[in-house]
Amino acid sequence: MRPATLLTIPLVLLLAATPVASRDLDQDEALRLRRDGLILPLEKVLQHAMVRYPGARLLEAELEEEDGLYVYEIELLTADGVARELELDAQDGALLKDEVD
């Protein structure tokens, strides 16, 4: 096998193992999606997160599209000082991921 081919094989394997990147949505797109009823307002989704972590403070919130699914990525600082990253389905508020950040 030629050296160039040897380098190509690991690159192909690396690309195949790399997860599909998410796309951040801008404010105009988020407003359009809300207006069209395709996503819940951030305030409503935050209520779901705050029920899970009473007394938590919001650090950051982003709306992303991942594999055709709209997802709110929310970072919280819990009342006991732990930073958590939650992903919630933007259409129904369902929890998709909850992990220590």
Global pTM value: 0.75
**Residue 14 pLDDT exceeds 60:** no
The beta-strand segments (E) located in the chain are 23-24, 57-66, 69-77, 83-89, 95-100
Asked whether the beta carbons of 76 and 49 are under 8 A apart, the reply is yes
**Tell me: the pLDDT tens digits for 15-65?**
444 455 678 888 899 999 999 999 999 999 999 889 999 999 999 999 999
Q: What pLDDT does 20 receive?
A: 55
**Residue 1 pLDDT exceeds 60:** no
> What's the CATH number for 22-100?
3.10.450.40
Domain ranges of the chain: 22-100
**Tell me: the pLDDT tens digits for 57-94?**
999 999 999 988 999 999 999 999 999 999 999 999 99
